[in-house]
Structure 1
Amino acid sequence: MQTNERREALADFLRKRRASLSPSEVGLPPGLRRRTPGLRREEVAQLANIGTSWYVWLEQGRDVHPSAQVLESLVQALRLTPNERRHLFLLAGQALPAPTSPAEESIGPALQQMLDDLNPSPVYVLGRRYDYLAWNQAADALFAVSDTLSDTSSPYARNMVWRLFTSSMMRERPNWEMLARATLAEFRTASARYPGDPWFEELIEELKQVSPEFCQWWPHHDVRSTLDGHKVIRHPTLGSLEFEHVTLQVLTNPDIRIMVYTPNAATRTILQSFLEAIDTCESRTSVSTELLGVVSARKRIEPDHGLGGSVCNRFCQN
């Protein structure tokens, strides 16, 4: 977008946001009858603690350059959502400041229901820092995601990149280096969107200490947008499982990514039978030797995204 176009877009965005608010929504008295809906320009300037003339220039698309502090004041004055805040900074040509105390990431019940409805396709959700936020039964069966809930060995135990570089099971995989390099390139691309975020900086320093490969590859500055594409997961009991992997984003929170593994027809049939076997196992008070062998095979699964370890420790014989 050209500079003039961006200024015009910024002006239009501010006008529309101002028109969408009523005085009562921002704690102002209604005053006299208004000829047009929304707040007056001087009211926005007052709420943002900036000069009225200067704000008028912004709405007129003049060549002025608001600072990040002024933009944050406008975010509060216009009651912008996180998505609208991001858009405002983009139109103003400013880098979005990393929050000093990022809000706790979570997903709503509707998204979790969607994940569950996608079984037997494995699906899990990653946050802005590559932490696991949610998953469905198929993803847990293949990737052992629920193990991250009980892992207290590190504050980064729920982080996908940490597990990829520190899990002994993952490091034994024949294609570990290829996967690790590709994931690291994607992680670098993501972390660059949050300059100065202390959490990213601490994780990177910790990984440099515990992983010689991470320490060696990180300075290469390789970048990559996604790991989407054809995936093959080699299961020691179920055989070769084939998927098409795509990454989806939540419109209201684009930092949250939904990792979807869509199986081909043969893999879908295998996974459906596998999940039915697990459900049967969970419903019995004692596990048959044959079924226990199938469930125990989950321990040896080698997923494409850095997860491993025991995933059937909740299955037992009474």
Structure 2
Amino acid sequence: MTVLDEPPLAPTARAPRRPDRRRTELSGFLKACRARVTPEDVGLPPGLRRRTPGLRREEVAQLAGVGVTWYTWLEQGRPINASEQVLTAVARALRLDATEREHLFRLAGVSAKPQAQPDPSILDPSTQLILDALMPLPAAVSNTRFDVLAFNAGYESLFAASRARAGDWHFNSIWCTVTAPPCCNPFLNRAEALPQMVAVLRSAYGKHIGEPAWEKHVQGLAARSEEFRELWARQEVAPPRTSLRVFRHPVVGVLRLNASYLTIPGVPETYVVVYTPEGPEERERIERLAALPAGGWINDCDHPC
């Protein structure tokens, strides 16, 4: 196998630097991806006495056509340079999909530096008109951190979002999903929904490593929830995609809805999520939901979601 040209290794005699959070994230991501690929997946013999699941470092290096030392240093998060060609070969060896490959490139510092973008928290006034026009379908605008920036009455009734208007507390759907007690948690298929939400959050986090607001958000979730810590440690990344959400509502009953995500041109890292009914019964329940007085059914729950 031809070994790809590798970028020079960084000098080792430099003065110590502050830890690079991006490199730390890259190290964890590569280790997790390597652990998910078995020798059988890539046509290698299984071998004996594997101390950890997945491929060995030397096997990844062999499949990618790079030196073992160079790949080891890359996975250790050392400050070495990596070309697009070499990273593409590593991504192929680890069987990464498009989102995971983009995440790898970003963590390795190969992606182009993003241009200045407008503040995603500043929405055009017409946004609320559009959300209201989607009634009775529950709909909201969120950013990639899962902060809910705007919503219509259907969404408010579904999630009791009116509590977000009280005081300085700020409504975040993944925070509520992680921390809400069973009495207040609307998700019936939470076991399927939450891992996907955390993977979407992890993908977005790759663009904001080291930013105080993002670090505080992730650390807060990890401090509150062991389940979140375990999901975060998987290093899984995914884009927002249409998926089934099953909700339990104390007035209208069970709702099976498909969550669809629409981007907003000109507003980066922000999307509209619209919940559409899976069948006629859900459609009728959504109409009943929209007719409820705002927040009128949540008085018995003290949780701020």
TM-score range, shorter chain: 0.5 to 0.7
Listed as ranges, the gaps of 5+ residues in structure 1 are 1-91, 283-294, 302-307, 312-318
Structure 1 stretch displaced more, 122-131 or 110-119: 122-131
The secondary structure found in structure 2 opposite 1:146 is: helix
In the alignment, which residue of structure 2 is the partner of 1:44? none
Which of 225, 233, 237 does residue 247 from structure 2 map onto? 233
In the alignment, which residue of structure 2 is the partner of 1:162? 175
Q: Report whether the alignment pairs 1:150 with 2:163.
A: no
**Cα deviation code 1:16-43 (max 9, x no counterpart):** xxxxxxxxxxxxxxxxxxxxxxxxxxxx
In the alignment, which residue of structure 2 is the partner of 1:61? none
The secondary structure found in structure 1 opposite 2:237 is: coil
In the alignment, which residue of structure 1 is the partner of 2:212? 198
Q: Report whether the alignment pairs 1:268 with 2:286.
A: no
Return the letter of the residue paired with 1:246: S
Contact 1:147-1:310 at 8 Å conserved across structures: yes
Contact 1:236-1:300 at 8 Å conserved across structures: no
**Cα deviation code 1:211-269 (max 9, x no counterpart):** 22222221210112124223322334322222222100101113111010012433222
Q: Report whether the alignment pairs 1:138 with 2:177.
A: no
Contact 1:144-1:309 at 8 Å conserved across structures: no
Residues 299 and 237 of structure 1, relative CA distance in 2, 3 Å threshold: same
Contact 1:299-1:310 at 8 Å conserved across structures: no
Deviation at 1:136, TM superposition (A): 0.3
Whole-angstrom distance in 2 between the partners of 1:202 and 1:183: 18
Number of equivalent positions: 194
Which of 110, 121, 128 does residue 105 from structure 1 map onto? 121
Return the letter of the residue paired with 1:168: P
Contact 2:154-2:289 at 8 Å conserved across structures: no
**What pairs up with 1:1-318 in 2 under 5 angstroms?**
94-96=112-114, 103=119, 105-150=121-166, 152=168, 157-169=170-182, 175-263=189-277, 264-278=279-293, 295-296=296-297, 309=303
The secondary structure found in structure 2 opposite 1:253 is: coil
Whole-angstrom distance in 2 between the partners of 1:195 and 1:97: 17
Residues 274 and 183 of structure 1, relative CA distance in 2, 3 Å threshold: closer
Instruction: Using structure 1 for the length normalisation, give the TM-score.
Output: 0.53
The secondary structure found in structure 1 opposite 2:261 is: strand
**Cα deviation code 1:30-83 (max 9, x no counterpart):** xxxxxxxxxxxxxxxxxxxxxxxxxxxxxxxxxxxxxxxxxxxxxxxxxxxxxx
Whole-angstrom distance in 2 between the partners of 1:223 and 1:183: 9
Residues 104 and 176 of structure 1, relative CA distance in 2, 3 Å threshold: closer
What is the alpha-carbon root mean square deviation over aligned residues? 3.2
Contact 1:127-1:255 at 8 Å conserved across structures: yes
Contact 2:120-2:269 at 8 Å conserved across structures: no
Instruction: Using structure 2 for the length normalisation, give the TM-score.
Output: 0.55
The secondary structure found in structure 1 opposite 2:240 is: coil
Residues 274 and 184 of structure 1, relative CA distance in 2, 3 Å threshold: closer
Deviation at 1:109, TM superposition (A): 1.8
Structure 1 stretch displaced more, 142-151 or 269-278: 269-278
Deviation at 1:185, TM superposition (A): 1.0
Return the letter of the residue paired with 2:141: V
Residues 177 and 140 of structure 1, relative CA distance in 2, 3 Å threshold: same
Contact 2:138-2:274 at 8 Å conserved across structures: yes
Whole-angstrom distance in 2 between the partners of 1:231 and 1:166: 18
Return the letter of the residue paired with 1:94: A
The secondary structure found in structure 2 opposite 1:168 is: coil
The secondary structure found in structure 2 opposite 1:240 is: strand
* Structure with the bigger percentage of helix: 1
Whole-angstrom distance in 2 between the partners of 1:209 and 1:203: 10
The secondary structure found in structure 2 opposite 1:194 is: coil
In the alignment, which residue of structure 1 is the partner of 2:9? none
Whole-angstrom distance in 2 between the partners of 1:124 and 1:181: 21
